[in-house]
Chains A and B, each alone.
Chain A
């Protein structure tokens, strides 16, 4: 596989292209042409298609897209391109065993296929949701760590340090990054799981400087760093700087791509192609050990609309059938904590991800748009569903997901914001609100009674 240094060299010397030409003349026109050539069409009646040939056509289109357009470096206004031979060589390499965590919490990240019975990796937490205090953060981390199905942590994000609001690009961003991972480590120690890996330990950090600060103070080689491209397939120097230092530090990367359905990637068919192409960008440019995709709706800002679920399913199937770089899907639900709707949405995206070959990172709640609107129950429920549906067929999953959609999709535009964390649980004792527990138990039972989902393990909350 070509080296990271080669990638940097290509960012500095590749074909000169304006940003607008890259978007419209290359990315948009090529992805649209490929959708026609490979006869890729969105089918709203089947959010979980059972069609291996469709999956493989999407993969071929994704590879062709990446060969034709490459990634874009806005700092040099050049494209970072790769030949088919280089891509085939990278894909032919043995995947190796990717491990995260230490001590009793050291595990191998699975490569899964559609309908695979292999248990999915469950990275649990807040997906970067902003919390108002260090106390909120530590209470949450302890609650996530109570769950034995939690194999890594996705942390909340601090909004303040020492009473000062964190401002991007300022020294407070550096302190925020270090404080974030330091608090998480301490909370994991308190929970008795000090070796649990953390995959977004610098959640409040946007810039390379604060990523590097976190790597220098608190992030271990056994953790992971989440590093993403910008919309779409743009990798700037700041992202490359994050990659450069993470590689030097010997920490692995979850390469994230929230391809925006309705944005430059266009509609569902082309968004699926772009998501598949990202697998190669993540492997070659961002040097990921895990692809971390979450196709998201441009307007509703959730990953649980019917069309984004279809994209998630077909892109996962395309990628996991053809690439060794495994997938951990992130989810953002529209509804807020302590609502039935949030649990229905959670079940939908988790089922789609797992039966289509992915693992999960759960999750952003209330679109991750409201401070303190997160709770430990939705990610817990996500992990239960994820383990329960490993091995479920795509046809059966399709039927369940359609029923789940009928329960919430009409309400996505006006999704309830739910309740803040301090109403969902006692932050000191960790005790969950009794009404919330009742609601959770009802929905969990509904999953079994209505859809035949058999949970594999007893619940901590029943």
Chain B
């Protein structure tokens, strides 16, 4: 089977939601002698971006994103040992700690952001829902994060976004992290008021902002 055909099959499986096939196709590609970097970039990454585009156009939905992301991870579990052996591991876009702030148990918007971030190659530390301020910072320190992203879906949990920023200031580590906020009742005015670095109105906005920041912090221009 041709190299292009195998990567096209992987992309097709993402496109059609045949996620169970992907790990088999990745293994098949390796067995056929394809380079793992090629399977990753031309197969898995291209394929998962197709799902991301479908999502942006409203043609696929959150479950597809999660299943595509799981299939991507399964493919990576096959490729990573081979790539590590060859010293060609995938470079992470950046590390981000994300969660819903203390008192807020809404997860859906945050989960959408998590999945798109993973598609874009971020190392995502999802700390979940109802997360105390100190836990965001502990996880950011532990994982040497670049970004902390804070979701709040209620007017009564918005103050907890400020709380995280105040805790960062109290620890003297505010400048180490790019702090992004989002969620239904939040807006740019609130972000400015609490001195967050960015506000993402939608999941797609949030990821674009994170990508732009990483691009800028690495000094690249694309």
Interface positions of A (Cβ within 8 A of B): 23-24, 28, 130, 157, 159, 165-169, 173, 176, 204, 206-207, 230-231, 236, 238, 260, 262-267, 298-299, 301, 307, 367-371
Contact residues on B (Cβ < 8 Å of other chain), bracket:
20 to 34
User: Which among B76-84, B85-93, B99-107, B139-147 touches the partner chain?
Assistant: B99-107
Bound-state Cα–Cα, A236 to B156, Å: 20
Q: What are 13 contact pairs spanning A and B, CB under 8 A? A: A24-B67, A130-B155, A167-B157, A167-B159, A168-B102, A168-B157, A176-B156, A204-B155, A206-B157, A266-B62, A267-B61, A299-B58, A370-B185
In chain B, what residue has the closest Cβ to A165? B159
Bound-state Cα–Cα, A301 to B109, Å: 11
Bound-state Cα–Cα, A173 to B104, Å: 13
Contact A166 B156, CB 8 Å, known A299-B203, A369-B184:
yes
Residues on B with beta carbons closer than 8 Å to the beta carbon of A157: 155
Bound-state Cα–Cα, A441 to B103, Å: 43
Residues on B with beta carbons closer than 8 Å to the beta carbon of A28: 63
Contact A24 B103, CB 8 Å, known A167-B159, A263-B108, A367-B184:
no
Q: Which 8 A-B pairs have the closest CB atoms?
A: A168-B103, A168-B156, A169-B103, A28-B63, A130-B155, A266-B61, A168-B157, A166-B156
Bound-state Cα–Cα, A159 to B154, Å: 10
B112 contacts partner chain A, Cβ-Cβ < 8 Å? yes
Question: Are A166 and B105 closer than 8 Å at their CB atoms?
Answer: no
Residues on B with beta carbons closer than 8 Å to the beta carbon of A260: 108
Bound-state Cα–Cα, A238 to B105, Å: 11
In chain A, what residue has the closest Cβ to B104? A168
Residues on B with beta carbons closer than 8 Å to the beta carbon of A23: 63, 66
Residues on B with beta carbons closer than 8 Å to the beta carbon of A236: 105
A contacts with B: majority SS: loop
In chain B, what residue has the closest Cβ to A262? B61
B173 contacts partner chain A, Cβ-Cβ < 8 Å? no
Question: Are B155 and A166 closer than 8 Å at their CB atoms?
Answer: yes
Cβ-Cβ contact count across A and B, 8 Å cutoff: 83
B160 contacts partner chain A, Cβ-Cβ < 8 Å? yes
Bound-state Cα–Cα, A301 to B186, Å: 13
In chain B, what residue has the closest Cβ to A160? B155
Question: Are B185 and A264 closer than 8 Å at their CB atoms?
Answer: no
Residues on B with beta carbons closer than 8 Å to the beta carbon of A166: 155-156
B37 contacts partner chain A, Cβ-Cβ < 8 Å? no
In chain A, what residue has the closest Cβ to B205? A299
Residues on B with beta carbons closer than 8 Å to the beta carbon of A238: 105
B197 contacts partner chain A, Cβ-Cβ < 8 Å? no
B106 CB, nearest partner CB in chain A, Å: 8
B158 CB, nearest partner CB in chain A, Å: 8
Residues on A with beta carbons closer than 8 Å to the beta carbon of B166: none
Identify which of residues 141-195 in chain B touch chain A, using a CB-to-CB cut-off of 8 Å: 154-157, 159-160, 184-187
Residues on A with beta carbons closer than 8 Å to the beta carbon of B58: 262, 299, 307
Bound-state Cα–Cα, A157 to B156, Å: 10
B202 contacts partner chain A, Cβ-Cβ < 8 Å? yes
Interface residue from A24, A206, A266, A368 paired with B156 (Cβ < 8 Å): A206
Question: Are B112 and A298 closer than 8 Å at their CB atoms?
Answer: yes
Contact A301 B184, CB 8 Å, known A168-B157, A206-B103, A263-B108:
yes
Question: Are A298 and B67 closer than 8 Å at their CB atoms?
Answer: no
B104, B154, B156, B157: which has the most chain A beta carbons within 10 Å?
B156
In chain B, what residue has the closest Cβ to A130? B155
Residues on B with beta carbons closer than 8 Å to the beta carbon of A367: 184
Question: Are A371 and B202 closer than 8 Å at their CB atoms?
Answer: no
Residues on B with beta carbons closer than 8 Å to the beta carbon of A263: 61-62, 108, 112
Bound-state Cα–Cα, A323 to B139, Å: 48
User: With contacts A204-B155, A265-B61, A368-B185 known, what are 11 further pairs, Cβ within 8 A?
Assistant: A24-B66, A130-B155, A159-B156, A167-B103, A167-B160, A168-B104, A230-B107, A263-B62, A264-B62, A367-B184, A371-B185
Bound-state Cα–Cα, A204 to B155, Å: 8
Interface residue from A230, A264, A267, A368 paired with B105 (Cβ < 8 Å): A230
Bound-state Cα–Cα, A176 to B159, Å: 15
Interface residue from B67, B154, B186, B202 paired with A168 (Cβ < 8 Å): B154
In chain B, what residue has the closest Cβ to A297? B58
Bound-state Cα–Cα, A195 to B154, Å: 30
Residues on A with beta carbons closer than 8 Å to the beta carbon of B103: 167-169, 206-207
